[in-house]
Amino acid sequence: MSLLKIAIQKSGRLSEDSLKLFKECGIKVNNGAKKLKAVSSNFPVEFLYLRDDDIPGYVEDGIADIGVVGENVYLEARKKVELVKRLGFSKCRLSLAIPRDVDYSGVTFFDGKSIATSYPVILEKYLNKQNVKAEIHKISGSVEIAPGIGLAEGICDIVSSGSTLLSNGLKEVETVTKSEAVMVGNRGLDEEKKRLLDQLLFRLDAVLVGKNNKYVLLNAPNEKLDEIISLLPGMRSPTVLPLATEGWSSIHSVINEDEFWENIQKLREAGAEGVLVVPIEKMIR
């Protein structure tokens, strides 16, 4: 029987969340001292622990069948691999930044300027689209210090909170691309591996959809039920149960997290009380 080989980052920002996600899919793996690879004890997969930059290439070559990398790494690598699924963690962006005290007029600022980055492919594509001609310096780390040491006039780097930029006297001026962890896959998987990948994707979907939804319970007077139900889309329709107190009901429904915040005020105005919001571990549509 074949094993689906999954490449994940050995140690870095993606490692822990990648393993956690597979664990939430019910895949157990004993990765004690973080060896080079580990086979799951309850699902036919083998994890390969690699440097993130090498993962797209290994997946293209079939050393690994699928892999988890930042979208930025996937885009930069330009390998012939499939983008199988967005995983919703390690959200960040690739941005252009310049010294804080330099005036910025718009993206044409970069015409004729030099920019340091570890992402020359993504940056060049962006600059071409903006019709800007700049000189790109590829450096592999500590990009944020480049302007300070006179290597470049601007940088293009990963940003999440912006605190690294701030502490290096830089300001963010353009977003080049957004990024999150993604699953990439080899383009020539055989039937058995495709079947395993489908099983894995089914589980992943249940976990990821669950994370985006909440189970909501609330109490309401019976005469307000119709109005409140109209604010709760639910999977099919809400469950309505009578409370011990005459004339009151408990309503249970599933609601998308974003919709919840949009609707909570309206629900309260409509007479909802005692609202409970409970996380959903898995959800199968």
Answer with the entry of ligand ATP, Zn ion, none that 117 interacts with (C-beta below 5 to 8 A by kind): none
Number of residues that bind ligand ATP (CB under 6 A): 15
CB of 137 to ligand ATP, least distance (A): 18
Give the amino acid at 145.
I
Helix or strand holding residue 120 (H, E): helix 120-129
C-beta separation of 240 from 250 below 8 A = yes
CB of 133 to ligand ATP, least distance (A): 27
Choice from 14, 27, 196, 216 touching ligand ATP (CB under 6 A) = 14
- Buried b / exposed e across 208-242, counting CB within 10 Å, b at 16+? bbbbebbebbbbbbeebbeebbebbeeeeebeeee
Q: Which SS3 state, helix, strand or coil, does residue 179 take?
A: strand
Of 135, 132, 138, residue with least CA distance to 105: 132
**Residue 65 in contact with Zn ion, rule: CB under 5 A:** no
Enumerate residues 80-109 that contact ligand ATP by CB under 6 A: 90, 92
- Buried b / exposed e across 48-81, counting CB within 10 Å, b at 16+? bbbebebbbbbbbeebbbbbbbbbbbbbbbebeb
Choice from 21, 22, 47, 52 touching ligand ATP (CB under 6 A) = 52
| Nearest residue (CB) to ligand ATP, 73 versus 255 | 73
**Residue 54 in contact with Zn ion, rule: CB under 5 A:** no
CB of 71 to Zn ion, least distance (A): 13
| Nearest residue (CB) to ligand ATP, 72 versus 263 | 72
Choice from 18, 52, 134, 168 touching Zn ion (CB under 5 A) = 52
DSSP-assigned states of every residue in 67-108 = EEEEHHHHHHH--S-EEEEE---S-EEEEEEEETTS---SGG
Sign of CA dihedral 57, 63, 64, 65: positive
Of 9-17, 30-38, 209-217, 224-232, the segment contacting ligand ATP by CB under 6 A is: 9-17
Q: 139-178 mask for ligand ATP (x: CB under 6 A)?
A: -------------------x-x------------------
**Residue 82 in contact with Zn ion, rule: CB under 5 A:** no
Region class of 7: left (phi > 0), else alpha (psi between -120 and 50), else beta: beta
Enumerate residues 204-243 that contact ligand ATP by CB under 6 A: none
**Residue 13 in contact with ligand ATP, rule: CB under 6 A:** yes
CA distances from residue 42 to 5, 39, 271 in whole angstroms, order as listed: 14, 9, 48
| Nearest residue (CB) to ligand ATP, 118 versus 249 | 118
Contacts with Zn ion by CB under 5 A lie at: 52-53
Residue ranges in contact with ligand ATP by CB under 6 A: 9, 12-14, 51-53, 70, 72-73, 90, 92, 158, 160, 179
